[in-house]
Amino acid sequence: MEYRAGFVALVGRPNVGKSTLLNSLLGRKIAIATKKPQTTRNRIVGVLHRPGAQVVLVDTPGLHQPRHKLGERMNSAARVSAKDADLVWHIADVSRPPNAEDHAVAAFCRQLAIPTWIILNKADLVSRVKDRWGPYRTLMDYRNYFVVSAAQKTGLDPLIEATIAAMPIGSPYYPEDMVTDQSEDFYVGEVIREQVLESTREEIPYSVAVIVDERTARRPDLTYIRATVLVERDGQKAILIGAGGRMLKDIGQRARMQLQEYYGHQVYLDLWVKTRERWRNQDGWLRRLGYGVSEH
């Protein structure tokens, strides 16, 4: 049997379950997922290993109408990842009819000379998927379609089997024991940001970035992590810290629990909050934070 290996780009509007689908397919959490749109800001690579095959799944930020340079970089990351793929999955929320952003994603996919499938996610939220399929069928001429529930892990096996069959014949791109290419600091920062997203409302979740300043093994059974949470206004900083530091303490405790599960031992998490006005529109800060994808 000839070995198959290739790249699959997961594209779609925000909040359709791309990251949840990635985690479910891999059987472990490598991408944060919340109910808030635009949770994913970076290209996240997950490597799916099967006998005789390797599928490199590339989770991308949701394509949306940007309101700042960060949004432009997020859209660029999604478009670049799709252009480099062997197959594109257009992920859609089948529990809702297609909106303007779904149409924009389909228009982008039509421009690619790459096979595109539509993946109708969140099937667990509807009783009759067939009644919802019609409007999505008209978006473009998809090569294939699948109905899945990433949250319930249903419909995934047929999707994986068909995807492997569609991959080019070739050698693996990553070692067999590699599940993602993201750095440890990146994952730590994302876990912290996830808890900020879960704890805050309105503009604050979208104004936050995390920098891991230090990560040190103090003992074999203890990792020390110091991280800075950036916001854009002093008012946001006050809300994030909370009365008597209660909000920040709660965020830190929940992030620490996840990190202790990740490391398998005790974690001391030291969180600080700093204001950096309009960082989402400053090229220097965007580069420092890893949002530097260019389409050129």
Q: Which residues are annotated binding-site positions?
A: 12-19, 59-63, 121-124
User: Annotated binding site for GTP: which residue ranges?
Assistant: 12-19, 59-63, 121-124
What span, in angstroms and rounded, lies between the C-alpha atoms of 185 and 46?
A: 17
The residues with which 211 forms a beta bridge, in sequence order, are 228
Q: CA 49 to CA 52: how far, in whole Å?
A: 8
Q: Which one-letter DSSP state was computed for residue 67? A: S
Edge-first strand order for the sheet with 222-231 is 209-219, 222-231, 266-275
Q: Looking at 200-295, list the stretches that DSSP marks H as alpha helix, in order from N- to C-terminal side.
A: 234-241, 246-263, 283-288
Q: What whole-number distance in Å separates Cα of residue 205 and Cα of residue 195?
A: 10
Catalogue the E-assigned strands of the chain: 4-11, 44-50, 53-59, 87-93, 116-121, 144-147, 209-219, 222-231, 266-275
As separate numbers, helices (DSSP H) first and strands (DSSP E) second, the chain gives 9, 9
Structure tokens at 2: 């000839």
Distance CA 164, CA 8 (A): 10
